[in-house]
Structure 1
């Protein structure tokens, strides 16, 4: 039983919960997973630690933004397809709207941010990720073997800092789990509260591949700027592993050489994307609103935003029915023991690079991160309040020191 009332199963309630996260979740995809864990595992108890780790592992395997896919799956679990849409909209729209406004000419957007505020938001991400690593390690790495897998995965990813390094670490951990862990048939299982039939999953996966193969053909047969944009951004969202930063070279190759967006605007938009909460994929909204050919503005931003996120929705709802069936199998459970430990290792690696290295430069940065961590773990303050406080503290230190 959860300690929340049934009214949080309505799509509107799901939207409001994710809207708050979309307004306060700074720090990139790994930090987002930390915010989600605190909100939905610790606070609201929508699912267990083990189920959350399994869901993260699934979304790490899928192309696209893992944190957004986890959010869609959580919304789906509470309120069906409307809940998945509500979760995506709440988490994505704040940053998308801000970036479209920036693209429409608010050149002072970056200058209006007080000095040190953005740095304070980077520092609080250190505390958020550290809290997630600590909490997940206690639950998912209870013995020496799984701690060893966690440490090995951390080193592996740090030595091979790429999307394929992450996938490789998870795959190797799965093989180790198959070989070394022997769960009993019928062992304790924490299923996701999502009931979907296999044929429904097959439908969504078929639609994903049909669009992936069909959109380039349609764009070639019927030359149209809007259709060309949908094709380019859908392809980018379909083929990128490793999160938002990996999609940037693909998007630049699509929009800059063709003259749709100048390189100066591209780089300015990327800088602005770092200053807003939510998923990095909302950079697509900036690019759509910045196009030199119609559709542009709000319509162009919306088209590109929907196109780049559509593969994420289709893949996660298509894969979930099969994932839930697989993870009940004892051999799959054995593999998941290793995978879950590796996921913690990936989080630990991310805590160092890029979260720690991009935020902790001075002794006062370490002090602020430590205070934020204490506020989250011991004082039990809500993450959004710690985010706001850290931003103010970062601005204050930049004016005093």
Structure 2
């Protein structure tokens, strides 16, 4: 019976991996319909609490939620299979897109057919900043944290600023507001450290290895794994928060991609089902072209990027889920959420500003600004989904 139950669960995950468009908010609604209402694996309250846990932890929220559900149903083995099946279709599509863009680059083909996709993608980020801010920032403290985090992220264009901003934001509200949380009698924590030590060990071994060998002597794919593993360890708030971090590190800081390639890839990622974090496969493939390893190296780069971004959150959810029932009763944990979400919202606003600047100051700036505003207004006042906006932009690029 267990095998049949596991098979049905994985079959449902496979279906969602090719049918779940629209990002984590839409994903969670689909998960509730499939796994709570249709299959009855959990009650809705239990599922929402599981999703709240994933929001506390760094990493891709919807991916962690479905992996955590797999863990509760069948343990680590089923959870790892869930992660693979859920993320693989999107990873393959983004890898193919990355290799295609790389081929165009080497052949000096024009990417002008993507020119409308780029400002539309910026419009999507602007809308995400607006929507997330409205959802999670509703206090004066939250507003201040949002403004400070956005200013820091926009001013100090370094990948090391982002985790500091998020951690400080969580500490501010944890220390200031934990007394305002309702009291519950927490049970003593029974912690199994194996998965946390695995998470920390991978980070330290790779990071220290690069320091010992030297950055210039370390293979590019190892450095990429470290980059994405570090980013996956400190990203709170889902795929939209990931964008400013990736743009700063891989476009402005390391110049592995051009602004045009990054924005085009991000726009195309909106048309792909499954986790938004699969965008990293596109970045990994393009980053490896400088190593001269050909298509095989680019595929390897895409895989390494995906492994780096997904593994930290997976290790951490395996670690925390075992004592979540006790942890969620601590007031300081609940209070930290406000600061984490406010700081993360500030990062998305910074992303919108960082991405908007080159789009509206370059060629065709009036047309680009019009497209940015149009995408924002369409998403705000209609029910048109992001994939249709991007596909229309892609079609217009081919026509004109």
In the TM superposition, 1:121-140 aligns within 5 A as 121-128=121-128, 130-134=130-134, 136-137=135-136
Paired position in structure 2 for 1:157: 149
TM-score, scaled relative to structure 1:
0.65
The correspondence for 1:319, drawn from 316, 321, 342, is 316
Distance 1:292 1:347, change over 3 A: closer
1:354 Cα deviation after fit: 3.0
1:284 Cα deviation after fit: 1.3
Structure 1 CA distance for aligned equivalents of residues 208 and 345 of structure 2: 40
Q: Which structure 1 residue ranges, 5 or more long, are not aligned?
A: 26-31, 60-65, 188-196, 257-262, 377-384
Report the more deviating stretch, 273-282 or 77-86: 273-282
Q: Deviations over 1:100-140 (max 9, x none)?
A: 12213365472223x53443343344445545555x54xxx
Q: Does 1:180 align with 2:180?
A: yes
Would the aligned equivalents of 2:121 and 2:390 in 1 still touch at CA under 8 Å?
A: yes
Paired position in structure 2 for 1:198: 192
Structure 2 CA distance for aligned equivalents of residues 373 and 8 of structure 1: 37
Paired position in structure 1 for 2:336: 339
1:9 Cα deviation after fit: 1.9
Would the aligned equivalents of 1:18 and 1:90 in 2 still touch at CA under 8 Å?
A: yes
1:53 Cα deviation after fit: 3.7
Q: Does 1:74 align with 2:66?
A: yes
Structure 2 CA distance for aligned equivalents of residues 58 and 336 of structure 1: 11
Would the aligned equivalents of 2:28 and 2:62 in 1 still touch at CA under 8 Å?
A: no
TM-score, scaled relative to structure 2:
0.66
Paired position in structure 1 for 2:301: 304
Paired position in structure 2 for 1:231: 222
Would the aligned equivalents of 2:170 and 2:339 in 1 still touch at CA under 8 Å?
A: yes
Q: Which structure 2 residue ranges, 5 or more long, are not aligned?
A: 37-43, 71-77, 154-160, 236-241, 270-275, 361-367
Cα RMSD after superposing both structures = 4.6
Q: Deviations over 1:244-296 (max 9, x none)?
A: 54356766899x7xxxxxx68766644543443144423111122x1444xx2
Would the aligned equivalents of 1:130 and 1:373 in 2 still touch at CA under 8 Å?
A: no
SS across alignment from 1:198: coil
In the TM superposition, 1:53-92 aligns within 5 A as 53-59=52-58, 66-67=59-60, 70-78=62-70, 79-92=78-91
Q: Deviations over 1:206-264 (max 9, x none)?
A: 652474267549978xxxx9x8233222222233445354356766899x7xxxxxx68
The correspondence for 2:346, drawn from 321, 346, 349, is 349
Distance 1:43 1:344, change over 3 A: farther
Structure 1 CA distance for aligned equivalents of residues 178 and 350 of structure 2: 29
Paired position in structure 2 for 1:191: none
Paired position in structure 2 for 1:116: 116
Distance 1:303 1:393, change over 3 A: closer
Would the aligned equivalents of 1:202 and 1:318 in 2 still touch at CA under 8 Å?
A: yes
Paired position in structure 2 for 1:260: none
Structure 2 CA distance for aligned equivalents of residues 238 and 176 of structure 1: 31
SS across alignment from 2:336: helix
1:300 Cα deviation after fit: 0.7
Distance 1:302 1:183, change over 3 A: farther
Paired position in structure 2 for 1:194: none
Would the aligned equivalents of 2:51 and 2:65 in 1 still touch at CA under 8 Å?
A: no
Structure 2 CA distance for aligned equivalents of residues 228 and 181 of structure 1: 48
Would the aligned equivalents of 2:151 and 2:350 in 1 still touch at CA under 8 Å?
A: no
Would the aligned equivalents of 2:203 and 2:229 in 1 still touch at CA under 8 Å?
A: no
Structure 2 CA distance for aligned equivalents of residues 147 and 342 of structure 1: 10
Distance 1:232 1:97, change over 3 A: same
Structure 2 CA distance for aligned equivalents of residues 42 and 341 of structure 1: 27
Q: Does 1:273 align with 2:265?
A: yes
Structure 2 CA distance for aligned equivalents of residues 364 and 266 of structure 1: 20
SS across alignment from 2:330: helix
